[in-house]
Amino acid sequence: MKFEDYNISSEIKRSLAELNFRRPTDIQFKAIPSILKRDDVMAIAQTGTGKTAAFAIPVLHRLQMRGPNKTKGRVSCLVMVPTRELAIQIADVFKQIGKHTRLQILGLYGGVEQEAQIKRLDKGIDVLVATPGRMFDLVHQKHLDLSKVDILILDEADHMLALGFIKDIQDVLKHLPPKHQTLFFSATINKHIKDLAYSVVNNPIRIQISPKDPISKNITHSVAYVEMDDKRFFLERLVREFPEKKILVFVRTKVRAERVGAAMARVGINTLQMHGGKEQDDRLEVMQEFKKGNTRVLITTDVNARGIDIPHVDYVVNYDLPDVAENYVHRIGRTGRGVNKGHAVSFCSTEEKPVLEEITRFIGKEISEMKIDKSDYSQTISLSQDVPNTNWQSLLDDAEKSGQKTPKKKKK
């Protein structure tokens, strides 16, 4: 089935065609009809499967059929998200798909002056994509009225739960009318997520897109055993051998992000750094710079591990392995999105091997090893600015081939 066959407005179909959205993904195919029928939906789908469009398309259609909301301070659809970056990204998806409609979409988040946001709210908003902090601030200041919200969307619900936003979710329900549609989207499912979901949805349509392998088939991922103090040499080598590729590098802390950035600068490699310690304007500027490809290496903490859609990331590098095994899946999910192919490489030091074991248990299989012999390892350190291009590509190819073999089951 193609989008042109759906019973949605011509304006939205026009936007989808311009975005080259021809056929729905699995989650879109299963969610859109139920949302159009006003059913509550609980959807579980891995990152990169098109979840945002799965709710944006039918919601925009329904709101367009009803007509724009022009009542001061009122909102028709509320999308709650855990981070500012997600608020910006999801609002942008709504704007792109609703480009040819007259619907008003606003991303509402802290870290910026609120006056411009209040002016937008005064004109009435059809879709508000908000983080809890700024949203409740403006509710208490009487600039935001949630009493007529018809659709509530909780996106990245597992992340919201992990960040302690459950009270905010419970509190927002007190401001909403008793009858409203609730759409609950999460990348993972467990008892806590189920409990949260069933506390906010009413007889939901449950949709679960969960392949046996939590890693997208578009991603080739491997691990290289590199000692902690040597990781900067191997990152430098990778960047130099793929100068035209867009590389997203994950580190554990904001201090590490700055230090790794400084290490790259010392050898003449320009990078961007992204972490929670930066001001909101700086974070937005960094993301725009990286998305445009003006600077091709972004060093970041897990602030960019979940939900964020950065187009055409060729390589994800786990410079540090994540503290939480689940974040491995979210991190490497920043590449290989949609129909694109992607590569991920993890640097594992001796002290990180227990973390690697947790990751392999979580994903249910071994990660292909990118073997580096002693002479090659030494050469990378001593001649890190002069390494033949073919070696890394050969290693990556070998890792990909070994990853296609059926892994041996571990003895219990």
pLDDT per residue as tens digits for the range 131-189:
999 999 999 999 999 999 999 999 888 878 877 888 899 899 999 999 999 999 987 77
The band of 210, judged by pLDDT with boundaries at 50, 70 and 90, is low
pLDDT tier, 199 (very low <50, low <70, confident <90, very high otherwise): confident
pLDDT of residue 390: 43
Residue 118, exposed/middle/buried by CB under 10 A (0-12, 13-18, 19+)? Answer: middle
| 122-126, 140-144, 372-376, 406-410: range with lowest mean pLDDT | 406-410
Q: Does domain 219-403 have CATH number 3.40.50.300?
A: yes
CB atoms within 10 A of CB 25: 19
Residue 125 host element (H or E): strand 125-130
> Closest by alpha carbon to 28, among 47, 53, 6?
53
pLDDT at 22 over 60: yes
402 vs 175 pLDDT, higher one: 175
386 pLDDT tier (thresholds 50, 70, 90): very low
At residue 341 the predicted structure's pLDDT band, cuts being 50, 70 and 90, is confident
Q: What is the structure's pLDDT at 288?
A: 84
User: Which of 209, 290, 300 shows the shortest CA–CA distance to 249?
Assistant: 300
Band of residue 405 on the pLDDT scale cut at 50, 70, 90: low
Cα separation, 94 vs 125, whole angstroms: 13
Mean pLDDT of the chain: 88
Q: What is the pLDDT of residue 271?
A: 95
The DSSP bridge partners found for residue 315 are 247, 343
Strand order in the sheet with 181-186: 105-108, 125-130, 75-80, 151-154, 181-186, 41-45, 205-209
Q: Helix or strand or coil: residue 353?
A: helix
What pLDDT is stored for residue 387 in this prediction? Answer: 45
Sequence-separated (6 or more) residues with CB below 8 Å from residue 146: 75, 78, 139, 172, 175, 176
Q: What is the pLDDT of residues 236-247, one digit of tens each?
A: 999 999 989 999
The verdict on pTM exceeding 0.85 is no
| Choice among 12-16, 37-41, 170-174, 330-334 with the minimum mean pLDDT | 330-334
- Tell me, which fold does domain 3-209 have in CATH? Rossmann fold (3.40.50)
Q: Given this model, what pLDDT does residue 82 score?
A: 87
* b/e burial code for range 75-105 (CB count within 10 A of at least 16 → b): bbbbbbbbbbbbbbbbbebbbbbbeebebbb
Given a cut of 70, whether residue 233 has pLDDT beyond it is: yes
DSSP per residue, 5-64: GSSS-HHHHHHHHHTT--S--HHHHHHHHHHHTT--EEEEE-TTS-HHHHHHHHHHHHHH
Q: Domain boundaries in the chain?
A: 3-209, 219-403
Q: Please list the residues that pair with 345 across neighbouring strands.
A: 222, 317
Q: Do domains 3-209 and 219-403 have the same CATH topology?
A: yes
DSSP assignment letter at 202? S
